[in-house]
Amino acid sequence: MAERVLVVEDEKTLRGNLARYLVEQGHEVAAHESAEEFAAAAKQEFDVALIDVNLPGKDGLTLAADLRLTSPDTIILIMTAYSSVESVVDALRLGVQDYFVKPVMLEEVARKIDALCEHRRLIKENALLRMKLAERRELPLAVLRSRTMLDLMDFVRQIALSQSTVLIEGESGSGKEVVARTLHEASARRSGPFLAVNINAIPESLIESHLFGHERGAFSGADSSREGLFRAASKGTLFLDEIGDLPQAHQVKLLRAIETKEVFPVGSERPVRTDARIVTATNRDLAALVKEGKFRSDLYYRLSALHVKVPPLRQRLDDIPVLAQHFLDKHAKEHRRPVVGFDNAALQRLVSYAWPGNIRELSNVVERATVVCTGRVISVADLPPDVAGRAAHPDDGGYEQTMASFERALIAATLERVDGDRREAARALGLSLATLYRRIEKLGLKSTKDEAETNDESA
């Protein structure tokens, strides 16, 4: 994509070389030898400003500060013949995105400009998307793009106004609780409590007490009375997750509580009225469990008065980039990492992966990538081997072979990302250049630059 680039450099040869090379790369370039000459020229907005620190008259850092005030969206890069820490720190404090130490490499400048512009585009797109989705305040996560999920949430908002029970089916980690919370927030009960409990998290002997409450002294350890989830969720919503795992001994009691809107606390013979809307979820096929005699048919029909099926993430490909960015923003803030986006190759790998663990697995993968990423944008090299499509399986060989396969994939992916620039690859991997050369030789790797040179020699 063509970017408007400003070059301010007093050295005529370098100024001309930069301008010509960037034009050849498809950019629009305006070149000036001083800040004063730039100020006297016709006013124009630039996507990128490439400024020499040591300029005649107004110095480059002052010009950078002025640009930051007048053109806050402009990406500012500086060039200096002196790699002093002080000047770099001053530049970064002014909002300069990066710097080059002379003599500069034209290819490196062009590559950096393309990368930073791509990062900015991703940030703007994500900010616009979040702004649009934030208008849908009833959605707890507000990170949807696929037509499937948008239609599903529209249906959820329609049924939210009823008082009927709702059964939500979907694979583990697919977002069933998000749907349940959306249902609650879109209902007339939104000012009441939303209580969520996983049936599997309650010991079987305590399920009745947790759901319906108990009286003091009802059993050993019951030193005080407990109202139970049905009463605690009064005027609100009670979400029972993994309902398919509810023991049959408790299924009939749950059915009675839903039908009569009354519960009997353990140790009491007097019923207590409840007013909680019941929403349940499962990752199992309840209809199949009914046929197998493992789930009561009357309870199944009562729970599924309204039925919502959440598709797995692999069937909602349009949601993956948006969800990935949502989790990246969240984890980058939690871990205080300067990561802001994904490169195209990484996004392609995320979209093409099957996601057996659905949204929960995506969140974990993005968190790991955010922590290990050494730059501002996550690449394929930052993804786990399985997701990156370069999985190393222990049964393919011993420990050494497995680790060598992983290291080879990591270095190869990094070299590919930096177009074979070994110095840049060493910096990204946290290795010295000499160590990287040794690892490349030992692993038998060739970068694209090596292959090009080999082809040139044989031609």
Please state the pTM of the whole predicted model: 0.54
Question: What are the residues whose beta carbons fall under 8 Å from the beta carbon of 96, sequence distance 6 or more?
Answer: 64, 76, 77, 78
147 or 239, which is more confident: 239
Mean per-residue pLDDT of the chain: 82
CA distance 436 to 449: 15
CB 4 within 8 A of CB 28: yes
Average pLDDT, integer, range 425-436: 80
* Count of beta carbons in the 10 Å neighbourhood of residue 46: 21
At residue 278, the 3 state secondary structure works out as: strand
pLDDT at 457: 41
Confidence bin at 282 (pLDDT 50/70/90): very high
Strands 194-198 and 341-342, bridge-based pairing? unpaired
pLDDT at 141: 44
CB 265 within 8 A of CB 272: yes
Burial of residue 295 (CB within 10 Å: 0-12, 13-18, 19+) is buried
Confidence bin at 256 (pLDDT 50/70/90): very high
Helices 106-134 and 319-335, axial angle in degrees (round to 10): 100
98 or 384, which is more confident: 384
Reading the block at residue 325, the tokens are: 């960015």
For residue 347, CA distances in Å to 216, 331, 390, 442 come to 56, 17, 15, 31
pLDDT at 82: 65
Does pLDDT of 131 surpass 70? no
Does pLDDT of 139 surpass 70? no
Strands 272-273 and 262-263, bridge-based pairing? antiparallel
Does pLDDT of 449 surpass 60? no
pLDDT at 43: 67
Question: What are the residues whose beta carbons fall under 8 Å from the beta carbon of 204, sequence distance 6 or more?
Answer: 247
pLDDT at 48: 92
CA distance 323 to 133: 12
Does pLDDT of 307 surpass 60? yes
Which has the closest alpha carbon to 52: 86, 18, 89, 93? 18
Which segment of 121-130, 290-299, 343-352, 374-383 scores lowest on mean pLDDT?
Answer: 121-130
Question: Number of helices (H) and strands (E), helices first, in the chain?
Answer: 20, 14
Average pLDDT, integer, range 394-423: 62
Does pLDDT of 121 surpass 80? no
Q: Give the length of the chain.
A: 459
CA distance 327 to 363: 6
CA distance 372 to 6: 34
Does pLDDT of 67 surpass 90? no
CB 404 within 8 A of CB 366: no
333 or 425, which is more confident: 333
CA distance 410 to 436: 12
pLDDT at 123: 61
Average pLDDT, integer, range 1-17: 89
CB 12 within 8 A of CB 28: no
Confidence bin at 208 (pLDDT 50/70/90): very high
Long-range pairs for 340-344: beta carbons < 8 A, 24 or more residues apart? 340/119, 340/122, 340/123, 340/376, 340/377, 341/119, 341/122, 341/123, 341/126, 341/376, 341/377, 341/378, 342/122, 342/377, 342/378, 342/379, 343/118, 343/377, 343/378, 343/379, 343/380, 343/417, 344/118
pLDDT at 433: 85
CB 310 within 8 A of CB 85: no
Does pLDDT of 132 surpass 60? no
Domains and CATH numbers, the chain: 4-131 (3.40.50.2300), 147-311 (3.40.50.300), 315-458 (1.10.8.60)
Does pLDDT of 222 surpass 50? yes
pLDDT at 125: 61
pLDDT at 392: 36
pLDDT at 133: 43
Question: What are the residues whose beta carbons fall under 8 Å from the beta carbon of 344, sequence distance 6 or more?
Answer: 118
> What Rg value do the Cα atoms of the chain yield, rounded?
30
Confidence bin at 322 (pLDDT 50/70/90): confident
352 or 250, which is more confident: 250
Which segment of 61-75, 221-235, 267-281, 390-404 scores lowest on mean pLDDT?
Answer: 390-404
Sequence letter at residue 342: F
pLDDT at 1: 58
pLDDT at 456: 44
Confidence bin at 165 (pLDDT 50/70/90): very high
Whose tokens are 């057996």? That residue is 356
Does pLDDT of 130 surpass 90? no
Confidence bin at 452 (pLDDT 50/70/90): very low
pLDDT at 347: 86
CA distance 439 to 147: 47
Does pLDDT of 29 surpass 50? yes
Average pLDDT, integer, range 94-116: 85
pLDDT at 458: 41
Which has the closest alpha carbon to 313: 112, 104, 172, 119? 172
CB 248 within 8 A of CB 240: no
Does pLDDT of 386 surpass 50? yes
